[in-house]
Each structure stands twice: as structure tokens, then as C-alpha cells.
Amino acid sequence: MAPKRSRPEEKTLLQVDPQGMFRGMVVFLIERGVQPRRLQIWKQKLIQMGAVIEDKFRMTVTHVFGMNLEYILQELDIKKLKRFKGYNILPYEWLENSLKSGEKIPEDSYALKVPLEGENDSDKPAASAHSEMFNSNHLRDDSKNRSIKSSMEDVKLMCRVKKDTEKTGDLGYNLGRPEPKDNELSLLYNPPDLNRKVTEIFGKLINIYRALGDERRSFSYYKAIPVIEKLPFTIESVEQVKHLPAIGKSMKEHIQEIVTTGKLSKLEHFEHDEKVRTLTLFGEIWGIGPATALKLYEKGHRSLNDLKNEESLSHAQRLGLQYFDDIKKKIPREKAKEMESLLQKVGGAILPGVIIVCGGSYRRGKAFCGDLDMIITHPDGQSHKGFLAKYVKYLKDIKFLREDLVFSTHSEEGTDSGVDTYFGLCTEPDLDQRHRIDLKVYPRDIYAFGLIAWTGNDVLNRRLRLLAESKGYRLDDTGLFVATQGSHGKRGAKSSASVHCHSEREVFDVLGFPGWTTSEEF
């Protein structure tokens, strides 16, 4: 049966603003290297916000978009490009960042340059600083005898490049990476949050309910936020969201109150309650959960200063307290990319071929990250053993890693599925600002499960675990296991052997998870 075609009248559902931020732009899109779903969303957003999309490269075109200059030159004849004047060639990163910020950002620092006459076109194309850094960060170093010390001098220099050369135009994390199939979860789109007031209030309620140990209520707000974030309109009435998933009766009432009054009485009540306020504050310290926060409150502590002489705090909790303000500060995406590149280069110098991916909110395409979640493996399935100890030592020697929170190695002993773990605090080169960083080294045969667990947010991960249970499995970051029969209606233990899945795609296929290539689950 032929695929069902969309009816012509469906096009009229696309609300177009002729005065939108992309008005006056006539766009030609290079499709090479772009996930179809992602390209479709970009096209819709361009049209909605006033742009015109051409199906061919014509004289009327004002902007050409592509993943990078190499792909653009593969699709468009370089002589033709040189003949046309008055247009800009931009990476899709410019478009995505403009959508995230809600306004057109300057094009100059993103613009990709066509090689000038007299340059050797067979060499690396001349491009913007973004493309230059992309090539230097991701292409394999051909010098096999280059020392780690020499490699690190390049890394330190790269990390001091001025802000206007930070972005690389690398939107899809499969570009320049081994085994792109393992990175398909990252092909996401994150539109601007037009209902920030609602999502900010819900975010505060998440933290409050977590501090109170009420995970059920906390999770309900967690589910609602991504649904609201992706709305292409500003909510003016609860009628606009009454049919949305994850928006129940009480959630609708909250939204109605917020859009009507600009505030939520429930949140104000919590914020004026001393116990709730204190538990929420203590719960934001790394290593302190709801139970510990309650014990500290019951001891009479009410502020961070009160905890400085608390003898019951562990070493890790004291570090969380000491660097509380640093850890709370978000990491801009550009800085996270810079640190990821450093970590990849150091890792490659220590162990050639090692795969190091920054997961979490960075891999989900967010503009800011709470911390760095690095997921690591080696394709041969053996060389990852013992890597983490050498890696951590070298990163400490160059003063990238500063304080340890958790450090456990299992790969050489074969315990705990052979996963090595390091949690700690790191800094950018020549700076004292601390950031949280997690390093997880997985054997190659369970790497896909680690990628899913450390990329997806709580909503996706919980949904996947529930789906796995409904099909008789137990899912975690080390595998998908057949569940044994439990007694009295309780879950049984997981079997010793995991279902073999080489990639994230295969995990989703086994579970029958619908729509896994879209961003709705993140």
C-alpha cells in the first residue's frame, strides 16, 4: 500500500507570521547529513517566522544553510557559489541558536566562507573560525608519534580561543565521530520556550517536592515541562492545553492561575514555609538527599553557614557545600563543547580510538548544562580496561580535575558489569570555577545502555524502565535483562545475561518504543 499523503488542507494549519524574525530571508537548505525529522521541523519554523524556502538554488536566495561547508560544497558547484553575491552561507547551528534565543543572532561569526581564487580547493576549504575549530577538534591526528604533552599544549591553546571562535557548526554529534548510529538520540530540536513563566514555576515545584521526598508529584511536573516548552504559542487560556499529554486537572488549574495572575499561590505558600525552604536548600547540596536534609533540619540547622561545622557530613557532602555556588551555575553550551573537545583529545592521546561522548542535557541539545556527563568506551571491547585511572591521573596533572567525589573501578576485576565510575569537580584551563563532571567507562557490549541512561532525562528513562517491565524485562544503564518471577506480586530479580544490543536504536527496537527519533521524549 502506498504511503498516505497529507491532505492539502493540513498546510493551512501552519500559522505563519509574515513579520516573524526570519522575514525577508529566502532560504535554500542542504539536506545532506541532516535527520529528516529535524529538517522538517526547521522548515516549519522558518516558514512560520516569515522566511521563504526555495527548492532550488536561485538568484533570489539570500541564505544557504548546511551542516558544514564540506557538505554544502558537495551539493552546490563552487563556481556557481562564487558567481552569486549577496547571500550568506550559514551552518544550521545559527538557525538552532536563533530559535533557542527567540531572536536572530548575529550572522558574521557563523558565516562560512567559500575558498577564494588561487586557493587549493582540494585542501581543507577555507571557512569561518567555527569550521576551523571543528576540523582541529574532530579530525584524527595523522602524526602517530606525537606525544601527549605536545597534544595537551594544543588543547590548552584551543580552550583560550576568544568567544567569537567558540562555536563550530557541529549540530549533529554524529559528525566526525565513530559509529554515528550510537549518537542518534542526540538529533534533537529545542524550540524557544514561549511559556517560560509557567515552566520556571513548575521547575521550582520539582525541587520542592524532591526535597520533601515526594517523587510522584515532582515527576508529574517534570513530565509537564517539556510538553509546555515545545508549544509554538504563548498560552493565554487553559483551553489551549486541555488536550495535551501530561497536563491533568490540577496542572491545568495551575496554568490558568499563572497566565491570569503571573504567579502561583501554591508556590508562594511553599516559599514562605521555613521547613520547606530549608529542606529545598539543603537538598541542592551535592550528596544530600531528602532524608539527610530532614535530619539536618531536625538538628536545628537553617542555613548553609549552619552546616559548616556539622560533623556528620561526609567528605563528598562537604565538597558539595564548599562549592555550592559554583556547582549551581549552569555551563553554557559553548563552554561544554570546549571541555568535551579537551576530554576527547586527552583521551585519544592516552588511548587511540577511545570513544568519549558528552551526554546529558548537552547531548539533548540544550543551551546550558548543569554538569558534564561523559560516556566512554573503546570499540575493541578490551582496551577500556584500566583506562579511567590513567585518564583521571592525567586530567589531574593538568589541573582539569580538582576534587574527587566518587571513584570506583570494576573493569579489570570484572565486577559490577565492568563499569568504571568517576564523579568529581573540574575547572576550565586557567580558571577556578568548579563544575560537576561524571566519567563513566562502559564495556563496548553494554555501551548503548550507558548512552541511553546518561542522555535521556528522568521522563524518558522512567518511561523506558516501565515499558521494559511491561514486557518482562529489567532495564538499567548496564543492560536489558529478562526479569525473573517475583513473589507476592513484587518484581523479581534480573537475570545475569543482558539482551545484546549494539546501538541505542536496537534497544528501542527491542522495547518497541514509538517515535524514538523525535525530541518529544526528552
The residues annotated as belonging to the active site are: 254
**Closest residue by Cα to residue 503 from 387, 390, 379, 397:** 379
Helix (H) or strand (E) segment spanning residue 292: helix 290-298
8 A C-beta contact, residue 187 and residue 455: no
The DSSP symbol for 493 reads: P
Rounded CA separation 47/511 (Å): 36
CA distances for 354 relative to 349, 376, 399, 443, 490, angstroms: 9, 7, 21, 11, 41
Query: Over the range 176-189, which residues count as b (16 or more CB within 10 Å of their CB) and which as e?
Result: bbeebebbbbbbbb
Cell of 224: 509537564
CA distances for 454 relative to 442, 496, 499, angstroms: 12, 22, 19
8 A C-beta contact, residue 56 and residue 66: no
Cell 513548575 locates to 202
Cell of 441: 567507562
479-483: strand order across its sheet: 473-476, 479-483, 494-498
